[in-house]
């Protein structure tokens, strides 16, 4: 009986860890996509700031996801009129 409980807990924890890992990797991939788009478009278009709507359209990501990732990323400068890649 105790072995079944322990096995259930181990499986439950493993499922949570795997789900979180998938979430983090997807977030990293999507952030990389946004940063790549901002870098590539930096020299091509004026103004250098891009709205969440434009980024979402160009990267095929949902606008709310773009907004969330831009808010979290330290590589992206946030402005009231849009976002910009950090100059480093």
pLDDT in tens, 3-34: 889 999 999 999 999 999 999 999 999 999 99
Count of domains observed in the chain: 1
Instruction: Give residue 80's pLDDT.
Output: 47
Q: In the structure, what pLDDT confidence band is assigned to residue 51 with cuts at 50, 70 and 90? A: confident
Instruction: Give residue 77's pLDDT.
Output: 77
* Domain extent for 34: 2-85
Structure tokens at 84: 């910009």
Instruction: Give residue 45's pLDDT.
Output: 60
- Indicate the burial class of 55 (C-beta count within 10 angstroms; 0-12, 13-18, 19 or more): buried
């Amino acid at each position: 009986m105790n072995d079944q409980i322990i096995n259930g807990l181990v499986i439950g924890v493993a499922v949570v860890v795997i789900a979180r890992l998938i979430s983090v990797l997807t977030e990293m991939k999507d952030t990389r996509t946004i940063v790549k788009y901002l870098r590539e478009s930096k020299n091509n278009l004026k103004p250098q700031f891009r709205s969440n709507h434009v980024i979402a359209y160009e990267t095929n990501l949902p606008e709310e996801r773009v907004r969330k990732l831009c808010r979290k990323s330290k590589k992206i400068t946030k402005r009231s009129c849009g976002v910009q890649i950090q100059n480093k």
